[in-house]
Structure 1
Amino acid sequence: MKKIVSWLEEKFLPLAMKLNNLKYLVALRDGFIATMPISMFGALNIMTKEILLTPTSLFGEFLNKWEFYATTIQPFFDAVAVPISNQIWWGTLALGIIFTVFTISYKLAEAENQDALTAGVLAVVSYFMLLPQSAGPDAGWGTISWTSFNSESIFTGILVAIFATEIFMFLNRKGLTIKMPEQVPPAVSRAFSAVIPAGVVMFTFGTFGFITLNLLGTTLKDIINTSIQIPLTSLGQSPITMILITLVAQVLWFFGLHGSLIVGPILDTMYSASLSQNAEAVLVHGVQAPNAITRNIIDLYGMAGGSGATLALIIAIFLVSKRAEYRSLAKMSFMPGVFQINEPIIYGLPIVLNPILAIPFIFVPPIMVSIGWFFTEIIPFAGRVYIAPPWVVPPVLNTFLATGGSLSATFLSLVTLCLSIAIYIPFVHLANKMD
């Protein structure tokens, strides 16, 4: 074990540190985090609709057997609650790429001490400059199609945010700005200084829009979707890819680094489109979700209580640990663990650089995720994920919500939690014998 740790420290850790500090991944991570209030409420809204509000929802179907509910409450839901829910979905999840473009650009410019607000607005403007001015030959001018913002647009939005911001910052650093006298208020001075860089960015993306739409007869979104997003999404649907990324995150945790935050931008980039495609298939087209692997399938089946499935470790400690300090820490960490907060157990036990508990901590998540994938894709037992519940939702319940109330997926999540406990138990027994 010492040789493995030494090799990882020498070869793997420096690469992980560089990855953690790569400005584009940091911007992606912080940009996605910044949209969490919107995406979390949007997800809660969809979960409520899919589980309760519609007559075909899980609880709605049962409650509509009651005549009073079917004749009094359900009509109100149909006339008021469901349309409100649809509007919330439209303004949050359906058009979410707009907010993502802004926040990624903002965070990238902020990290470089540039005018982040102008950069974010400019990135959104640049994205719109690439869009067709009509939804189709039969649509009037100015009718932008929703397909310009759906699951196929995620990679385009990310790239536009990065390139528009980099051009803007490059011109600012070169001093290609309008300098105003000191007497001019700072807000006005910043606005004027951004005119030339912003103009160059807008002309650049306006030209790209003209070339793709008028000369190539397509959109930049379609080009990027075909050449980058579809291949990368297909790569993400391989269980090998999912297992490797999960393993990397767990190894980083072992060294005390926040593995989830470091690999988070990679997961968000690779799997955001998959979740969006699933949501679009179920909510818009009413068909089965196409992707078995999404960004949150790792959390649902492999991370009960947070990274490393540490809620399973806490339960295993309650069951078999004879060490007073372990049991005391487990009591303090149980409630945070229920709500997916596990830093107390990771750093307090600790699991960091612990050669005994690190073994199940590293390998339980990929094993459980593989089981989740197998019974979703190979043996279609569990319902597929198409909603992203807030990350603080307790284990098992989060699977119920993420799959729109799939009881089979919920049961599978409970099984993976029990299996995780079973794997941790022998190592907790072993820890009893350690000083």
Structure 2
Amino acid sequence: MTNLMEKFASWLEEHFLPIASAIGNQRHLVALRDGFIATMPVSMSGALVVMFKEVIFTSESLFGTMLNKLSFYAENIQPVLDRTLVPVLEQMWWGTLALGIIFSVFTIAYKLAEHYKQDALSAGVLAVVSYLILLPQAVEGGEWGTISWTSFNSEAIFTGLIVAMISTEIFNWVVNKGWTIKMPDKVPPAVSKAFSAMIPAFFVLTFFGIVSVCFQEGLGIPMQQFINNAIQVPLTKLGQSPFTFILLVFIAQILWFFGLHGITIIGPVLDTMYSPALAANAEAIMIKGVAPTNAITRNMLDLYGMHGGSGATLALIIAIFLVSKRTEYKSLAKMSLMPGVFQINEPIIYGLPIVLNPILAIPFIIIPPITVFIGWLFTAVIPFAGFVYIDPPWVVPPVLNAFLATGGDIKAAILAFATLVIAILIYMPFIMIANKMEDSI
């Protein structure tokens, strides 16, 4: 089995690794990844707000329903929360997740401009302005200057990403042509940069002004709506196929085998395809008051496939405690346990190691696709666990994160625990093999 695994690894290294490395270094994907990461404080804050509101503070929330059975709480405390705390949480959600695409437009353009070594601040501001130029000046039937919030919600994600990249590419192209205003050396740098950006800004904004009119007047539809219908909706539907999701997860695990951070490389694809699904689920609950419709979201992988981090390594640690006879494994497992509980698994991945390990790499690669499929099966096909619509911080421990991500659904927590147990059972025989093959690992 070891020789077969080594031959397979050699084949992957020759044919697959160069492609993966190229994808991991592709500037637009790197800008997507870093841009999304830069918005993490905002998105995490918004996720916490939704979590508190939907799990604790409203009368319809999990704990709110129980507490409101007490007449004193229902008559004296809940009305105060409804007038004070709940409106605060709703406004915080509105300014973070509901309008979140505008922040991503800025950060993605900023990061791409950094790659080109251009004025990143100007590029980010121009991208936001370019996006606003594309919006119709009035909602249908409304007054001039009325902008629909759907221009910034889950339906606008792909448009925002495209605008951020195109505006920055135009900005970079114009600057490289030398079409800039050059100020004397004694002019303060901030002023000099502002003047240098004036001509590139004119090109960028003029381009999007023309595009906006072409779509609205020529096609009779705003660009954002056109892209949503033509690209985002079909791609989101494709992403709701479990086979698409599982394939991406499998590729990420293969990359880890070679020491590459699989989720970092595949992350931009996952974020692009599945962030709209999570946002749409949240909007269904928060705005429309209806059941969410997207079974697969970006963080479904974390809930059911990544217990303790990539490869479900918390399950590996538990399996080591249960069946390993190797003292070095047990010592490393003790050191890695607490980080693993909080989804930090680099100590166990590089300490055993799992990288280029012909035995432990097998369960590491196959467990997330298997457990994610089980999570999807008992969410979309067998209606056991609730749909995910909250994105808890990534450091929330396994099982608890599933409970919070579904607004307090205990069945989702049970499903997450079941997939953790399955992961442990898959790891155990490979740990037993490792007991007998000390020299091969």
Q: How do 1:375-394 and structure 2 match up within 5 A? A: 375-394=378-397
Paired residue secondary structure (1:420): helix
Q: How does 1:20-419 map to 2 (within 5 A)?
A: 20-137=24-141, 139-419=142-422
Q: Aligned partner of 1:125: which letter?
A: V
- 1:183-222 deviation digits (Å, cap 9, x = unpaired): 2111111110110000010011011111111222110011
The one-letter code of the counterpart of 2:88 is I
CA distance, structure 1, for counterparts of residue 111 and residue 80 of structure 2 = 43
Give distance in 2, aligned partners of 1:322 and 1:73: 56
Q: CA RMSD in A?
A: 0.7
Equivalent residue, structure 1, for 2:13? 9
Amino acid across the alignment from 2:299: N
Give the aligned residue type for 2:9: V
Aligned-partner SS, 2:84: helix
1:410 CA displacement: 1.0
Q: Deviations over 1:291-328 (max 9, x none)?
A: 11000111100100000000000000011111100000
Unpaired runs of 5+ in structure 2? none
One-letter amino acid of the counterpart of residue 35, structure 1? T
Distance 1:382 1:90 in 2: 27
Distance 1:181 1:316 in 2: 67
CA positional deviation for 1:66: 1.5
The SS at the match of 2:294 is coil
Separation in 2 of the partners of 1:354 and 1:193? 53
Residue 407 of structure 1, CA deviation = 1.1
Letter in 1 for 2:149: W
TM-score by length of 2: 0.98
CA distance in 2, matches of 1:173, 1:392: 42
Extract structure 1 runs of 4+ deviating beyond 6 A. Answer: none
Distance in 1, Cα, partners of 2:138 & 2:84: 31
Any idea what SS the aligned residue of 1:305 has? Answer: coil
Residue type of the alignment partner of 2:271: D
CA drift at 1:135: 2.0
Other structure's SS at 1:141 match: coil
| Alpha-carbon distance in 1 for matches of 2:379, 2:85 | 32
Q: Which letter maps to 2:239?
A: G
1: CA distance, partners of 2:285 / 2:59: 16
Shift of 1:65: 1.2
Q: 1:368-416: per-residue Cα shift (whole Å, max 9, x none)?
A: 0000000111111110001111111100000011100111111101100
User: C-alpha displacement at 1:365, in angstroms?
Assistant: 0.3
In 1, the alpha carbon distance for the partners of 2:381 and 2:66 equals 30
What is the CA deviation profile of residues 69-125 of structure 1, one whole-angstrom value per residue up to 9, with x for unaligned ones? 112211111001110010000000000000000000000001111000000000000
Over residues 323-370 of structure 1, what are the superposed CA-to-partner deviations in whole Å (9 max), with x where a residue is unaligned?
A: 100000000000000000000000001000111100100000000000
User: 1:425, 1:184 → 2: CA distance?
Assistant: 67
| CA shift for structure 1 position 286 | 1.0
How many residue pairs match? The answer is: 434
Structure 1 CA distance for aligned equivalents of residues 74 and 283 of structure 2: 28
- State the TM-score, normalized to the length of structure 1: 0.99
Structure 1: 5+ residue runs without aligned partners? none
Deviates more, 1:176-185 or 1:335-344: 176-185
Question: What is the letter of the counterpart of residue 386 of structure 2?
Answer: G
